[in-house]
Amino acid sequence: MALAHLPASKHAALTESLDGIWTVKGDLKMPMLMPMRISRTMTVVRRADGELVVFNSMRLSAQGLAQLATLGPVKHVVRLGGFHGRDDAFFKEHFGATVYALPGMEYRRGIGKKLGDIYFEPDVRLSSAADLPLTNATLHVIESSNPPEGIVIAPLHGGVAFASDALQHTPAPDEFHSLVARVMMKRMGFMKPHAVGAGWLQFAKPRAADVRKLSELSFEHLFSGHGDPVIGNASMKYQPALAGELKGCHA
């Protein structure tokens, strides 16, 4: 029985940021009393065998899906953020992709107290780096984050990190932030370069010590679920944010 998928996001074109790695920005309607749309980012990686791996999946328009198809077959979808994953089931049904998710990540409609029943189960629960669809990649899990959150580092281009909400790079609002979002998110501390995700800290409430351990990771580039890619010297650019105040964390 086919699932009732959420509609496609309004989005830009896929852009190649590094050889074999593409990003696409789109919008996300937030379930709030005041209508608000924020920006989100999907990353696509082409493996040596030509298969595509998707991080932070986002349902695309027919035109976007056609462009995606020119890059190769979508075979793997990796969910690293507990607040992401709403379009994973679409990729499973549309492409027949294998879906990977951390233990504890659930697929439910709604948010907060309005969460519905589980409607979808991932194919693979990520228990170690061996489960990842990228060769010789490493998996770092922020254990105290609720819902779960992870970061993958692959030995591509000197080291590429894939994140969801924990590490972001949104120096300014883009065309996919509504006016309300531009005002509210700036006040809440979202619009910052090389930042720890303010919303993630507030709602997932990880331990500060676990977040600061991210400073021990080394990677040259970073692709996140929100904002722009960070190309070059990426892990060093996050050191000030990881050493600074982490509002919302547990001690």
Let me know if residue 76 belongs to a domain: yes
Alpha carbons 207 and 105: distance in angstroms, whole number: 19
The range of the structural domain enclosing residue 110 comes to 15-243
First-to-last C-alpha distance (Å) of the chain: 46
Residue type, 67: Q
Let me know if residue 28 belongs to a domain: yes
Let me know if residue 232 belongs to a domain: yes
Domain count, the chain: 1
Q: Which helix (H) or strand (E) holds 223?
A: strand 221-223
Average pLDDT across each block of 10 residues of the chain; the chain has 251 residues. List them in order: 74 94 88 69 97 96 96 98 91 96 86 71 89 95 94 97 95 71 66 89 93 97 95 98 84 64
User: Which CATH number characterizes residue 86's domain?
Assistant: 3.60.15.10
| Cβ(84)–Cβ(225) below 8 Å | yes
Let me know if residue 83 belongs to a domain: yes
Let me know if residue 23 belongs to a domain: yes
Alpha carbons 46 and 7: distance in angstroms, whole number: 25
Let me know if residue 94 belongs to a domain: yes
Predicted local confidence at residue 1, as pLDDT: 44
Predicted local confidence at residue 184, as pLDDT: 67
Let me know if residue 228 belongs to a domain: yes
pTM of the model: 0.91
> Strand pairing of 124-125 and 98-101?
parallel
Let me know if residue 6 belongs to a domain: no
Give the tens place of pLDDT for each residue, 176-211: 666 676 666 666 667 789 999 988 998 899 999 999
